[in-house]
Structure 1
């Protein structure tokens, strides 16, 4: 009976330890993009809005996601220059929004226009680029999707694209987006 009591005590202690442990909070994935087997951090997001360009539908907005080494110099709400060294991906989106990035799924548009809302056209990625000397190789997207969601003040952006050499550019970004109005 003493052995049984000892085992029962050990089992109860083990259960108490397990129930006393808090579950770790769910860890969100890092903001990164991958290309050719290599991972690149993403730290900043911005939207550059250009407004409507008929005959295209919606507003033209450039979504620009960058690493921490890429800096934006602005004069008020207008971009003055982009400088630094790092990685970036740019998507030219056609959105319903005005002054904000519209939540939804965007697909690459192969046509020559007019472009429809919830599509993206010109898009490229650069890696280890110098934005001052313009030393960079652009990898233009030829297909893919961009998904935009919002979680409170943060945007959650996932993308999965193919660039012109046939390689995949895939990524995830979770963070605030700074808005720049470049309309004339």
Structure 2
């Protein structure tokens, strides 16, 4: 699973560098807190993997910081593997960490801090518990999370803004 996440982070960092190089609109006030430090989140992507076969739908979310250096391959970000109850996209509600896929569950995820997608260095921690609250619909969301990581530390945060399709 880590190789899939790493591949997604690499693809997203390249996409981000190209797509956001000339961005002029102000970023939303979004961030996550880990180990006493605050990390900015100002761009979000989603990728839909379709039906799970149990009435739920697999939707992966990538939230990360826009770097002032668009050539950088180092990022801070949060990856959430959510399962929604609608084929149309995320449904407002609380998604709780679970071992099995079902509607309103989160089965995987990670938090990356100063993670270099080229040489795979930096810190990346798996999510082993917690909740994600989704508000909003369509292209604009407020995503609030309180997560337990595989190093027994907590990460909390909020992302307010658009979720762009990962292509």
Distance 2:37 2:119 in 1: 24
- Deviation, structure 1 residue 164: 1.2
Alpha carbons 2:41, 2:63 under 8 Å: kept: yes
Q: What secondary structure does 1:177 align onto?
A: strand
Is 1:177 equivalent to 2:163 in the alignment? yes
Scaled by the length of structure 2, what TM-score is found? 0.74
* TM-score, L = length of structure 1: 0.68
Name stretches of at least 5 consecutive residues in structure 2 with no aligned partner.
1-27
Cα distance in 1, alignment partners of residues 137 and 47 from structure 2: 21
- Cα contact 1:141–1:162 (8 A) shared by 2: yes
RMSD: 2.3
Q: Conserved in 2, the CA contact under 8 Å of 1:44 and 1:68? A: yes
**Structure 1 residue ranges (4+ consecutive) displaced by more than 6 angstroms after TM superposition:** none
Is residue 136 from structure 1 mapped to residue 122 from structure 2 by the alignment? yes
- Output aligned runs, 1:28-177, within 5 Å: 30-54=29-53, 56-69=54-67, 84-109=73-98, 111=99, 113=100, 115-150=101-136, 153-177=139-163
State which drifts further: 147-156 or 158-167: 147-156
Following superposition, the deviation at residue 174 of structure 1 comes to 0.4
Which structure would you say has the larger Rg? 1
1:126 CA drift (Å): 0.5
C-alpha distance in structure 1 between counterparts of 2:68 and 2:133, whole Å: 23
How many residue pairs align between the two structures? 138
> Cα 1:57–1:136, aligned 2, differ >3 Å: closer, same or farther?
farther
Structure 1 residues 129 and 100, CA gap change in structure 2 (3 angstroms): same
The gaps in structure 1 that reach 5 residues or longer are 1-28, 72-82
Check 1:151–1:101 CA distance in 2 against 1; reply closer, same or farther (3 A cut). closer
Distance 1:58 1:179 in 2: 19
- Taking the aligned partners of 1:165 and 1:40, their CA distance within structure 2 comes to 18
